[in-house]
Structure formats: C-alpha cells, structure tokens
Structure 1
Amino acid sequence: MTDIADQAGAAGVAQSGPGAPAQRSHDRSSTSGRPPRSTEVLARSSRARLRLVNAGARRLATPRNDTDPLEIRNTIDRLARLQPRPHGVVTRSAIVAGVPGEWVVAKKATSPLTLLYFHGGGYIAGGPHTHRALVGALVRRFGGRAFVPDYRLAPEHRYPAALDDARSVYDRLILDVGPDSLVVGGDSAGGGLATALMADRRDAGAPMPERLALISPWVDLTGPIPEAIESRSSTDVVMRADQIRAAALTYAGERVAEPGASPLWGDLSDLPPTMIQVGSAELLGVEGELLADRLLAVGVAVRLEVWQHMAHVFQAVPVLREHRPALDRLAGFLLTPTG
C-alpha cells in the first residue's frame, strides 16, 4: 500500500530547513503493519497571537446564534471584503462549460498545471470572490493557474446542483488540458465537493487528475461526527454543530447520506494521490482524519497533516505564522510528479 508521507515524517524525524515547520509524526495504523500516513504539525504562532486571532474570528465569523443560510451568505460576503488583494496573479471572469467562475493566473508562469479549485461556504455561501486571496496565494506558489467555479448554491439550488456544475467544468478541463496537467482541490464544502466529484468521474470512466488537495474537507453531511462534537465544540471558533447540520439540510435535505453529498461513506478506491490539511481545533478536522483512514484502507496514496491548535481553513489567515508553510506544502504536493 503506497504512502506519500514525507520520508522524514515516516521515520519519525522532525524536518528542518527553510520553510519546514516544526513537526512530529504519529502512526495511527502501526498495529496493521501499514506505513505512517499522518504528520502532526506543531503550532508556530505564539499563544498570545492565537488568542488574538481566535477572538477576532469569534467576533467576525457568522453570528454564533445564526443558522439562516442567507444571513450566513451575507456575512461571508462582508468578510470577503477584508481579505488582502492577491499579488503575483491576475484574475479574470470566465465561463467554462456553461458554469461561471474566475481564472487566477500566476504572473510568472513556471508550471503547466491547471488547478480546479472548489470554494467552501457550506454549499450555501461563498464564491470566487471570497477565496481570491487564498487561491491567489496558492497559484503564485505553484506557478500555474486555477479556475474557481461559481457553482450554484442552496437554498436556491439544492443537491446535486453543485455536483452537476463541478462535473461539467471537470469534463471540459480534462479535455482542454489533459489529466497530466490537471489537479483538483477545495476547502470545507469545496473539499467535499472535490472528493465527491472524483468518485463520480471515476464511476463514469473518466481520467483522474494528477493530484487532489483538500483543506478541512466537509465530507459527511450526516454529521458532525459525535467524537468531534465531544472534543472540539469548545475549540472551534468558526462554526457550531447546529450550523453545520442546518447547512447540510439546506443543501441536501433527506439526501444527505448519498455518496454525492457525503463522500466519506462512499467508494473511495482509485482516487488520485491526496493531501489533506486540517486543524486540530476544528469540528471538521475529525472528518479529514477519517477520510485519510478510509482512503488509505482502499490503497489510495494519502498524506494527512494535522496542524495543532489551528482553526477551520486557517490557510486563509495571513497573520498566522502557519499560513505560509501550509500553502508552501500544498503547492509542493501539487507539483510533485506522480509515479
């Protein structure tokens, strides 16, 4: 069974050198004889900085007593105005296979890769505009380009509308650039959508992309998982369990358990090599860890990074010292040749 964890991590040795975060490896599958597949990345931000950022997140994030999807959408749109302008990239609106979206292109092109990136937002909020800084920072690092679909959102468009849009864009890009030059990624709901899309396209006999990169993927709409509620409800500064449930029902209703909505419980075999980054403080982190376990169990090459004390999609918070190395590692993964 193939594992693509860093060799230093697999040996239980902390990495060193420029851009390498302090870390220690742990093997949750040692009793089965399988190789280690996870890396615990130790916090680099000071406790004072983490407290400050978490306090700000609690104030700025979706109101803690609000589960209304349109209010959540409006709040996320307002927060998007606070994000820094991406540098080193150019953006332009476009339509791919009938789906609107945005191209994000590195000014200094060093790679032929095209990233199909699905934004988060609980299937009820978000768009290319809310993730421009995050995607721009990632594109600048790997030197290629990304297309961020503005896929349809609930409650106006319920499941499987988002998956239908994702399928249309993927099928067009796989023809335009070829599987060797296409990588797929996403965060939160976008990570779940990317995972569901891979299984959907595999079942259709379509070629798989080179890599799959997931940030805090939401892959179980039947949850949150009880273990997560018990251990992380007090540490998640971005969302609550009832908000997650409300978004799931708004998007998928009685179909939340279908693999296209909850890919964690579907067939995950023959998916592309996958990297998953989660924060240890977030509710959805447990889902990312379970996803890595299930991928490994069916022979998919997977790398899981658990970033200690980090919140949901911390990669989008530039003031955190973890922001840059996390994106560096994602970009490095996307650039690693398969084989």
Structure 2
Amino acid sequence: MKNIVKTIVMLAVLQFTNTNVFAQTIADSTMQKINEFRGFYETLGKVYPPNNTVSINETTISGVKSYMFNQEMLSKKEIMVYLHGGVYTYGNFNTYQAMISHLARSFNSPILYIEYALSPEHPYPTANNEIFNVYKELQKKYKDYKITVMGDSAGGGLAIALINDVQIANLSMPASLALISPWIDLKCDNKSYETRQALDPILSKDFLYNHALMYASNNIQEADPSELKFKEFPPVFLLVGTDEVLNDDAKNFYAYINPIQKKSKFKEYEGQKHVWPFAHIDSKESMEAIEDIKQFISSN
C-alpha cells in the first residue's frame, strides 16, 4: 500500500499540462519530470529482493543490451523473451531484475530481458525494431528452440506488435505469449478507462494518453497495437486485474483474437491492480498468475 501511495503522488507530479507533446519538441521541464520518475520507478523494483539463486548474464544481441537469466539452462532448448512495461518511457534492468529473477526461478527456464530504447528520446518504431531484430537473431542462433514471449503493460503492446512484424517478415511465430495487464489501445478509447478509474490508484486515461503521444510521435494510428490485424496468431494468455483501467484492453483483444487462435485464454484476477506481481511477487494472486502462466506455456 505504501508503494501505491508513493506512485499516486509521483504520477500527480508527472501529469503534463500540454497533451500535445512529441519527442521533437519535448520541453526541458517535461524531460526533467520524466527523468525524476524514471529514478522513482527504479526504486519500485527494490520492494523485494531478487532471487539470488538465479544467474544473470549481460549480453548484446543485434546491438541491443539484454540480460539472460538462467543462461546455464539453455540446454533445455527453450527461451522466454521478456518485454517490460513503463508506458514506453520508464523501466530498466534495475527496475525489473527482482521480478524476473523470481519468474526465472519459478519457470526454471532461461529468460531474456530486452533493454529496448525508451521514448520520448527514441519514439516509435525504435523499440519495436530493436525487439524484432533481437527476436530474429534468437531464431537464427537458437534453431529448433521453443521461444515464448511474456510482457507486462506496454510490453504487452510491444509483444503484439512483434507478432505483426514476424508475420510480415514471414518468420516462425513464438510458441505462445503471456501478457500481464497489457496496454494495447493507445487511443485509450475503451470503456474501462472511465468505468474502472475509481478502482485504479496507479494509471489514468490522461497519463496513458500523454505517454502514447510521446511514444507515437504524432502517429498513434500506426503505432497503436489495437489497430493491427492478424490472419494468424500464437496461443496467447491475457491476464488482467479487475481493478485497473486497462481491463478492457485485455478483454477486447481476447474477443478479437479468440476466433483467430482458439487456444487463446483470458483471465481476470479479483481485486488486483496493474501488474500485481511487480508489487507483490509472493501474494496469493501473484503465485496463482505465475502458476497459470507456467501451465499455459507448457501446454503450447
């Protein structure tokens, strides 16, 4: 609860007075707020310690800094790619090390965390291109490996965009995707942005839309994952809390993708806020979500 209150205060400070902000003209005062929140967001990754039994190796793949958890387990011929959240603007290895180390321990599998470039300094499609290039290199280097993709919040949107890029390039799809609290609609048009706001102490429609503008750099239609169309899609598991404004992002994408991929799955977690395992990795609901993901990945 203490961390949620701190987040509310920081987000209130961070609200931009001008929603028409783009990377090319971003004000120094706005960048100062962004950098301050980046520092604060990093502290949220220290609310619980990392699992010190999990090995971590820094690497560079296709010019993109990345971190491999459980590298010694690559002989199992499986890799999970992790795409972090942070409204395309926040988050780094220090922020996500603890959570991913616990996921790596629970999944007993290698996890590759990609440190993709952040907006507004690097707007769309920089992060998308970096993630696609890493994925392409993984397929080349680790032939016949089972590659899965996991993402939270904006990382969920990036995962969906990755599937579109893979489809266009005619590469092999990942075996499956697991997306926690995915932010998919950059236009922020879904009803839950209004109907769930009173339940969500972390995100708001204005906050999200301002960051969508910075990330998309005046091109939301093209950057928006909810605008992408698919003829095929890997099995995808969409997990979302009942108490978050992004509830309909997951629900609506499931309604769209289920006729295309019958193995897709959607689950709501009662009373949970945005990306609940990030805040409380050992809560009953977090452990339930991790077990649900393990079962889904193992069956696809």
**Mapping for residues 147-186 of structure 1, pairs under 5 Å:** 147-178=112-143, 180-186=145-151
Return the match for 2:84 from 109, 113, 119.
119
Q: Aligned-pair distance for 1:247?
A: 0.9
Correspondence for 2:6:
59
Q: What secondary structure is seen at the aligned counterpart in 1 of 2:194?
A: helix
| Distance change in 2, residues 1:319/1:142 (3 Å) | closer
Correspondence for 2:192:
228
Correspondence for 2:232:
270
Q: What secondary structure is seen at the aligned counterpart in 2 of 1:114?
A: strand
Alpha carbon RMSD of aligned pairs, Å?
A: 2.0
Q: What secondary structure is seen at the aligned counterpart in 2 of 1:304?
A: strand
Correspondence for 2:294:
331
Question: Which amino acid in the other structure matches residue 253 of structure 2?
Answer: L
Kept after mapping to 1: 8 A contact 2:45/2:99? no
Correspondence for 2:257:
295
Correspondence for 1:70:
35
Return the match for 2:45 from 80, 84, 95.
80
Kept after mapping to 2: 8 A contact 1:179/1:210? no
- Determine which structure has the larger helix proportion and give its number: 2
Where does the alignment leave 5 or more consecutive residues of structure 1 unmatched? 1-52
Where does the alignment leave 5 or more consecutive residues of structure 2 unmatched? 16-32
Does 2:243 correspond to 1:243? Answer: no
Q: Aligned-pair distance for 1:109?
A: 7.7
Kept after mapping to 2: 8 A contact 1:106/1:139? no
Question: Which amino acid in the other structure matches residue 324 of structure 1?
Answer: M
Kept after mapping to 1: 8 A contact 2:79/2:110? yes
Q: Aligned-pair distance for 1:230?
A: 2.2
Distance 2:298 2:132 in 1: 24
With the length of structure 2 as denominator, give the TM-score of the two structures.
Answer: 0.87
Following TM superposition, where does structure 1 have runs of at least 4 consecutive aligned residues deviating by more than 4 angstroms?
106-111
Distance 2:109 2:204 in 1: 36
Correspondence for 2:156:
191
With the length of structure 1 as denominator, give the TM-score of the two structures.
Answer: 0.78
Question: Which amino acid in the other structure matches residue 222 of structure 1?
Answer: K
Q: Aligned-pair distance for 1:77?
A: 1.5
Determine what percentage of the aligned residue pairs are the same residue.
27
Correspondence for 1:27:
none
Q: 1:234-273: CA deviations, max 9, x gaps? A: 1112122111011111111321121xx2222211331111
Correspondence for 1:283:
245
Distance 1:326 1:107 in 2: 25
Distance 2:262 2:61 in 1: 29
Question: Which amino acid in the other structure matches residue 122 of structure 2?
Answer: H
**Mapping for residues 248-267 of structure 1, pairs under 5 Å:** 248-258=212-222, 261-267=223-229
Q: What secondary structure is seen at the aligned counterpart in 2 of 1:222?
A: coil
Question: Which amino acid in the other structure matches residue 59 of structure 1?
Answer: K
Q: Aligned-pair distance for 1:277?
A: 0.5
Distance 2:144 2:228 in 1: 23
Kept after mapping to 1: 8 A contact 2:57/2:71? no
Return the match for 1:217 from 182, 191, 208.
182
Kept after mapping to 2: 8 A contact 1:106/1:140? no
Kept after mapping to 2: 8 A contact 1:137/1:327? no
Return the match for 2:104 from 139, 144, 167.
139
| Distance change in 2, residues 1:179/1:203 (3 Å) | farther
Q: What secondary structure is seen at the aligned counterpart in 2 of 1:298?
A: coil
Does 2:290 correspond to 1:318? Answer: no
Q: What secondary structure is seen at the aligned counterpart in 2 of 1:182?
A: strand
